[in-house]
């Protein structure tokens, strides 16, 4: 297998011929006046006439013949664009780009046509295709309630064929829609095409086609009296959770140093890496990520093929074989169902970062949102670009040659590498559960400081005597706690002391934090683990709601008590609430401990038989039911505080019975 410096192309021979040679063959170039008539109206008949079909019964597109015929047309369009000024271009086509909801991007595309930057065509095409996909999806929704996820399915949809015409959609399919075609979108977004391999005239042609689509759409909207509505852009949230690496300008100089030394960089892709860093320096954060992400995929594909000894998976696949993309690179098994060895080569923490950034459903899924045109590129968050860049530095450093040792002395790089080494997934369900538990812990800690009326005022009011119930509950809670304590990781057993856990201090919250700081691998979790974690998240969510309700009600009632605005019945209800809080506080703490223990034990649950698994899930659902009932009972409109104590006592007995049965089995 060639080294990174020896790779001359990531395109397979057939794809390379299709993209780099076929449309460049000598042919009679049509007069531009036959393709575009004044004032900038696209003559679709001339373009669609280039689409050839096979002689087979299904009459599918003959992509080879079609690309060959379209080549001279693209050349004529490109030369024409080179002959006009920016103002002329805007006057001719500006209005016809408005349907994309991103007119500025397409007008800026004109400057890329004349740019001397080698990476301009790659960057321009990736931005153009993603924006075009989003806009076509908006058009699709004129006739449907849902939009296909994959671009090729969108291009083949009946809805778009009815609006633009089947022959027009066939033209787009030749450029963008099939592995048998030029497939420009996929070979760029998946990092297969190097910057010098994409003919610039294809970018020029797609600019014109986009304007032409706008002209066709205008007719349809006029005839049907419809209005094209655009979906709101996707907005990245949880940016605080994305702060994995330090955000410093020094990252750029470290990156420039590493890309010149690392074996992770394919030499033919070096200009794109450099352009990505330049884009960040110029505060073009979306451009930075658009350039860097496909290179991460290309280089990781090279690592994947080395790790799994499958060099044939490095190049673009033919139409009959799947591409090796991030999905395959990060999967548990290879295509032939053997264990994927890339986690061994990269290490668990780096794999978890990659999964968090790209794949986990509750994560930012950066590449998906960008490549499908869902993001407003003008307000792309700097923090995401910085995190992608820093992750790149980690991978660049991991594959740096042994002869380069000076980089290890760089303080900023050391900080970045350290952040990666100790990374724990934040967007996997287990990572999200960890955050939930710790947030709920902090919330419950606030109960300690809830205001209570002066003792002399309380004594002057009749108060529910819950001593018996409270003592019985405490005995059960401590028994359950003792059982859970024995299931804790060895390094935490001795630090978890029952007396401290239920005291008014913050020892209990520190204990939970310490346990959660122990790493739990989130890679390739079995289905049963995900099912258990899903239940635990629901339980924790209900506990959080209960805690917030208790805090809100307690503070409100206290204020009313001190103002003497509570009626007699309300005063009794308030005192029952105070009794109930004393009862459920230790129960909430023990539930969070159980959630913590159950998370770690979930992996062993898969080894049990179906009956035991179902009994265990039934137990967790019973806990969920209890917490849901607590939410109802603690609602200010219900105020069922006495019932809360009774409910809690019955729940504790069931919980203790199940745990004892579990210990005996």
pLDDT digits (tens, 9 = 90+) for 569-613: 888 888 889 888 988 999 999 999 999 999 999 999 989 999 999
472: phi then psi, degrees, rounded to nearest 5? -60, -40
Confidence category of residue 71, pLDDT binned at 50, 70, 90: very high
- Helices 467-485 and 641-664 cross at an angle (nearest 10°) of 30
Confidence category of residue 127, pLDDT binned at 50, 70, 90: very high
254 CB-near residues (< 8 Å, 6+ apart) = 393, 407, 410, 412, 413, 416
> What digits encode the pLDDT tens for the residues 252-297?
999 999 999 999 999 999 999 999 999 999 999 999 999 999 999 9
Torsion from C-alpha of 408, 413, 418, 423, nearest 10 degrees: -140
Lowest mean pLDDT among 348-362, 432-446, 556-570: 556-570
> Is the pLDDT confidence value at 58 over 80?
no
Confidence category of residue 3, pLDDT binned at 50, 70, 90: confident
> Is the pLDDT confidence value at 464 over 50?
no
More reliable by pLDDT, 497 or 220: 220
More reliable by pLDDT, 441 or 477: 441
* pLDDT the model gives residue 492: 73
Mean pLDDT of 57-86: 93
Confidence category of residue 552, pLDDT binned at 50, 70, 90: very high
41, containing H or E segment: strand 41-42
pTM for this structure? 0.92
42, containing H or E segment: strand 41-42
* pLDDT the model gives residue 317: 65
Q: Output the CA angle 64-293-115, nearest 5 degrees.
A: 65
> Is the pLDDT confidence value at 544 over 80?
yes
Confidence category of residue 468, pLDDT binned at 50, 70, 90: very low
> Is the pLDDT confidence value at 223 over 80?
yes
Long-range Cβ contacts of 135-141 (<8 Å, 24+ apart): 135/99, 135/100, 135/101, 135/102, 135/230, 135/373, 136/160, 136/213, 137/231, 137/373, 138/101, 138/228, 138/229, 138/230, 138/231, 139/99, 139/163, 139/217, 139/228, 141/229, 141/231
553 CB-near residues (< 8 Å, 6+ apart) = 577, 634, 636
Which residue, among 462, 498, 493, has the nearest Cα to 480 in the 3D structure?
498
- Domain boundaries, given as residue ranges, for the chain: 13-224, 239-421, 429-664
* pLDDT the model gives residue 405: 57
Region for residue 401 given its phi and psi (left: phi exceeds 0; alpha: psi -120 to 50; beta: otherwise)? beta
| Alpha helix stretches (DSSP H) within 446-562 | 455-459, 467-485, 490-493, 498-501, 507-516, 527-562
Mean pLDDT of 58-76: 94
> What digits encode the pLDDT tens for the residues 153-200?
999 999 999 999 999 999 999 999 888 999 999 999 999 999 999 999
613: phi then psi, degrees, rounded to nearest 5? -60, -45
Buried b (16+ CB within 10 A) or exposed e, 65-77: ebbbbbbbbbbbb
Confidence category of residue 313, pLDDT binned at 50, 70, 90: confident
> Is the pLDDT confidence value at 150 over 70?
yes
**Which residue in this structure is represented by tokens 């129960």?**
587
Region for residue 338 given its phi and psi (left: phi exceeds 0; alpha: psi -120 to 50; beta: otherwise)? beta
**Which residue in this structure is represented by tokens 């959630």?**
595
> What digits encode the pLDDT tens for the residues 228-262?
999 999 999 989 999 999 988 888 999 999 999 99
Distance of alpha carbon 227 from the chain centroid:
32
Q: How many residues does the chain have?
A: 665
> What digits encode the pLDDT tens for the residues 417-428?
999 999 999 999
Return d(Cα 580, Cα 66) in angstroms, integer: 77
Looking at every residue in the chain, the average pLDDT score rounds to 91
Confidence category of residue 636, pLDDT binned at 50, 70, 90: confident
> Is the pLDDT confidence value at 458 over 80?
no
610 CB-near residues (< 8 Å, 6+ apart) = none
| Alpha helix stretches (DSSP H) within 237-322 | 250-259, 270-281, 285-307
């Amino acid at each position: 297998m060639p080294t990174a410096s020896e790779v001359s192309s990531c395109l397979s021979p057939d794809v390379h011929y299709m993209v780099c040679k076929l449309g460049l063959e000598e042919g009679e170039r049509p007069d531009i006046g036959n393709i575009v008539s004044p004032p900038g109206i696209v003559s679709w008949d001339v373009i669609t006439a280039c689409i050839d079909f096979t002689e087979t019964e299904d009459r599918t597109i003959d992509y080879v013949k079609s690309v060959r015929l379209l080549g001279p047309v693209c050349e004529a369009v490109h030369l024409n664009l080179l002959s006009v000024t920016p103002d002329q271009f805007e006057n001719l086509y500006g209005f016809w780009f408005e349907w994309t909801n991103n007119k500025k991007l397409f007008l800026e595309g004109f400057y890329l046509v004349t740019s001397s930057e080698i990476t301009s065509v790659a960057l321009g095409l990736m931005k153009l295709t993603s924006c075009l996909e989003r806009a076509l999806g908006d058009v699709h929704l004129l006739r449907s309630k849902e939009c296909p996820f994959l671009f090729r399915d969108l291009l083949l949809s009946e809805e778009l064929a009815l609006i633009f015409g089947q022959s027009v959609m066939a033209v787009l399919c030749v450029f963008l829609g099939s592995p048998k075609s030029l497939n420009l979108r996929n070979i760029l977004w998946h990092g297969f095409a190097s910057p010098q391999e994409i003919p610039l005239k294809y970018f020029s042609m797609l600019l014109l086609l986009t304007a032409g689509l706008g002209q066709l759409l205008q007719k349809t909207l006029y005839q049907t009296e419809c209005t094209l509505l655009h979906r709101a852009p996707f907005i990245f949230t949880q940016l605080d959770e994305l702060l994995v690496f330090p955000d410093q300008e020094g990252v750029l100089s470290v990156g420039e140093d590493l890309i010149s030394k690392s074996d992770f960089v394919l030499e033919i892709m070096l200009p794109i890496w450099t352009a990505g860093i330049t884009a960040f320096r110029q505060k073009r954060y979306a451009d930075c990520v658009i350039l860097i992400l496909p290179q991460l995929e290309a280089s990781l594909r090279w690592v994947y093929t080395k790790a799994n000894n499958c060099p044939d998976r490095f190049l673009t696949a033919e139409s009959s074989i799947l591409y090796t993309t991030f999905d395959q690179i990060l999967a548990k098994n290879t295509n032939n169902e053997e264990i994927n060895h890339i986690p061994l080569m990269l290490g668990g923490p780096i794999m978890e970062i990659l999964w968090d950034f790209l794949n986990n459903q509750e994560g930012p899924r950066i590449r998906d949102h960008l490549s499908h045109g869902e993001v407003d590129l003008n307000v792309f968050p700097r923090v995401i670009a910085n995190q992608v860049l820093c992750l790149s530095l980690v991978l660049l450093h991991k594959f740096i040659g042994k002869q380069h040792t000076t980089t290890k002395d760089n303080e900023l790089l050391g900080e970045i590498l350290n952040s990666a080494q100790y990374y724990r997934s934040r967007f996997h369900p287990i990572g999200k559960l960890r955050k939930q538990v710790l947030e709920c812990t902090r919330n419950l800690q606030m109960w300690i400081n809830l205001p209570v009326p002066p003792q002399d005022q309380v004594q002057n009011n009749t108060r529910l005597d819950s001593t018996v119930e409270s003592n019985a509950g405490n005995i059960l809670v401590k028994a359950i706690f003792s059982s859970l304590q024995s299931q804790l990781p060895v390094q935490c057993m001795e630090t978890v002391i029952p007396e401290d856990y239920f005291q008014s201090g913050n020892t209990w919250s520190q204990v939970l934090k310490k346990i959660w700081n122990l790493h739990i691998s989130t890679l390739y979790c079995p289905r049963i683990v995900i099912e258990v974690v899903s239940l635990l998240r629901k339980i924790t969510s209900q506990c959080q709601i209960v805690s917030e309700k208790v805090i809100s009600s307690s503070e409100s009632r206290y204020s009313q008590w001190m103002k003497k605005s509570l009626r007699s019945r309300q005063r009794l209800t308030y005192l029952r609430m105070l009794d109930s809080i004393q009862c459920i506080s230790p129960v909430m703490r023990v539930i969070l401990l159980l959630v913590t223990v159950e998370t770690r034990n979930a992996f062993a649950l898969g080894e049990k038989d179906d009956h035991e698994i179902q009994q265990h899930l039934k137990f967790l659902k019973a806990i969920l039911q209890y917490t849901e009932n607590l939410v109802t009972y603690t609602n200010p409109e219900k105020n069922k505080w006495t019932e809360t104590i009774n409910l809690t006592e019955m729940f504790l007995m069931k919980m203790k019975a199940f745990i004892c049965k579990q210990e005996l089995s």
